[in-house]
Amino acid sequence: MTHFGPLPRALAFAAALVSAGFAVAPAYAGPAEVALLKSYIGDWRGRGTLVGAATESVVCRLSLTQGNQDKVNYSGRCTLAGTNLSVAGTIAYVDAARRYEAAMTSNATFSGIAVGQKRGGGLVFNLRERTPDEEGKEMNISAQIALQSDAMSVSFEVVYVESGDSLTAQVPFTR
């Protein structure tokens, strides 16, 4: 059985909270895509539960601000298992790919890209990755970030390939 210490839990949470990438392609979004992105600008707070070998609280703050051109920047912090996780990045509509993309940097090491699609009146970003943790153990990550006008939710699951042990979390956010 894998025992998840504070750092592995924080790294797994970082990998799943928001996908990482280090660049978003140039965005040439139309007025509707830009308006949807800008509708999420503001301060968000979330509180949820991380379930693994033990159950722990997750408390997060996230701020979305106007970025360059038609992009929205975000920065935030989550506290879990006595560890602070910081994230920052950009969300944009990429015309050439006809999709929304989110890029992130964090104080945890992880790389990937979250792809977003318009659903109903909001956006849903999905991430599925396979990546090693800091000890080299492979983990499958599935995450979803759903943005609605006055609510945001983050849900994820991390499964360690070798042991089958998992971490799951649900973190609802409000303005």
Higher-pLDDT residue of 121, 13 = 121
In the DSSP assignment, the letter for residue 138 is: E
Average pLDDT, the chain: 80
Instruction: Give residue-wise pLDDT tens across range 61-118.
Output: 999 999 998 999 999 898 887 788 888 889 999 888 889 998 877 776 555 678 899 9
C-alpha separations of 128 from 12, 35, 54, 74 in Å: 13, 27, 24, 21
CA distance 69 to 83: 34
Residue 3 above 50 pLDDT? Answer: no
pTM: 0.76
Read off the pLDDT of each residue in 3-23 and give the average, rounded to a whole number: 47
Instruction: Give residue-wise pLDDT tens across range 132-160.
Output: 877 888 888 888 889 988 899 988 788 88
The CATH number of 6-170, from 3.40.50.2300, 1.10.260.40, 2.40.128.20, 3.40.50.980, is 2.40.128.20
